[in-house]
Structure 1
Amino acid sequence: MIYFDNSATTKPYTEVINSFVKVSSDYFGNPSSLHQLGGMAEQLLSQARNQIAKLLKVKASEILFTSGGTESNNLAIKGTALMYKGRGKHIITTEIEHASVRETMEQLKKLGFSVTYIQPDQDGRISVKDIENSIRQDTILVSVIHVQNEVGTIQPIEEIGAMLKNYPKVLFHVDHVQGAGKIPLDIHGAGVDLCSISGHKFHGLKGTGALYLREGLQISPLITGGNQESKHRSGTENVAGMVAMAKALRMTMDHYSADLSKMKHVMQYLRDELQKVKEITVNSPKEGTAPHIVNFSVTGFKGEVFVHSLAEKGVYVSTTSACSSKQAEVSKTLLAMGIPEEIAKSALRISLSYNNTIEEAVYVISAIKETINHLGEVMN
């Protein structure tokens, strides 16, 4: 099996699973309980929070634990909207956001909020000037994805943050789910107020995530009850999951330091070979993209058909975002980039981890060529 669908989810590190089992078995107390077992669980949760904060170079008090990227995005956006609706009801985002952001915006529109969607250029990149030109007196939030999850384009987060310093009443949220552990982000330096990450995107466990909330900033909670997570997210914390997530993030950042050049080499080989195939159009831009994502289309074939055909050869890739892939919709991101619908319908995404090898890439290119020939013969 060759797994090239790491933007959908990653395989948990063995050490991560072991830490989850250890904490679940030996430190299963409720961290809100007063007894010793509860105190031990609370200490482990605090250690995990400190570790993640240190890795992200923020304060431990600025880390809120959640169930993943979708909840973090929802909490950041809805929490801000509900808290500051008296100041204004206008939000700015982009046409290339993850579904957890887009659908949240659409829900807020039904509640009386106004949303401006910024169009990307042909490389899937957002203009800082376009965002600034959309700011109004009643704008309360700008939300921008860091690494576009389908094509890998890196957005100018630092430049957007610098511009927004001129508008102190406008908060800045960044969806850092695809960037964590692969594309560094200076959260404080970039002027980010809220930032989402998800554990299962960097070899942690599904159901684990975090939201960075700048010190002193208040947002309205979506889940109320026990006042956990500084009253922003009630519910008994997933101690074992958060300990595992902290370990996964540390290990992934170690891999970043040691194996980034290897990942770039594998990706460059894939891009070079894909571009040699006459039936293939590479949709990801040549410059300013993450080292783990490449999006391409195979002319004349539906993306889902190609995915299943590759799976028969033991190769696992995806079409669009995993959260949208079963809906058989054409990628809104590719259409927003100006890619024709017929080409967008045949889009595929390869996404790497630090563990993928050049030998796997060679096999995958061969499998893609064989699949093109085989499906072509079947269709003819």
Structure 2
Amino acid sequence: MADIKRPTGRPGRYSKYEKLEASLPAKMDKRPAYCDGIGLFRGAKSYTAWVKVRLPHGGVYNGRTIPVGASIEHKVGNRASFTWQQLEAERDRLQGLADRNEPLEAAQADTFQSYATDWLARKKPVLKGYGVTKGHINTALIPTFGKKAMDAITVADVNRWIGKQRGTLAPATVQRQLSTFNAIMNDAVRVGLIDRNPATRADKIRGVEPRQRFVTEQEWKTILETCERIEREQDEKSEQQPQRIRGWLRHYVAWAYNSGMRRAEILGLKAENVRLVDDAHIVVEVLNSKNGKSRYVSCTAEMRDILLALKRLDRMPGDTRLFPVSLTTLKRALTALWKATGLKDVRLHDLRRSHATILIGKGVDVRTVAGRLGHTGTAMLAKHYAVDRGDKEAAAMFG
């Protein structure tokens, strides 16, 4: 009896992909097999889905430049996670992007490491304390945030970092590191890379108090006497160290005390910054101020004497700096000076605070003092530099 021919059903819409899947060998080479731009690769445990797209205009994909008319293979993911309809939709989406000459890949947000490195390079010419800021980025921030995308850093991430840093560092140190982080993230907000700086809602660092160390008259006398002793010892060893520039240390410290200028501002002074207003009035122009604005500082009588003394220093030809020493040399000399004085917890910036405090105590207007120190307002002066004159008068009246 002849076999009866039975009618066959209409093939399923996705039967061609199912046949492809069923035909795959148990062991495949590295490349997937394709049917109408849908690819499958059979691994040891599962199937991986791919799509193939032709780039009529060429382009860039996965970091490679694709020539005009060439194709790219895009890995979608585990086959079990996608229906055939979803795979076709992904193929058509990518092909549409290629046909319109649009990027196939969404732009990836910069990592913190790449953005912070670029930020540091951009800010180097104008950044005060470049070495310190670089240290914050490389040793304190990149180890924690470096691999994270800028838009993926959360408030919780910042809080965990603060807690970790507080375990081994002083509150003020962590605060300075956080300030560097804030500067980077706020820059990213301004350029539109991220919507918000996560540190603005992070935990406050407790224990950070403004340092208010002032030098008394007796301490100032001790500092000057120590400078003179150190310079005498250097003169006695001049034959052993002929290359050392001597005779500047006392002048530098006295200049800081008389002017209230910052360390870098003093080092940046050159002969051309000294201006003679009249026979009794000499000013120096400070160009590298912290706020980016220049200012003029009138010289005291002692500063005028120092200007004359500095002209007699040995220096390299063409060096017009008032103090012809490097920052490293200055740091080493000051570290040795503070240790030799025997004074507790004293540093150069305390001379700046003392300068402001003395002027306030003598009745100089607060705004005048703030301008001399390079502040745009009086809030920082009251918080960090000068003992309030009103409080002093209140104590006298109570007594």
TM-score by length of 1: 0.22
Q: Which has the larger radius of gyration?
A: 2
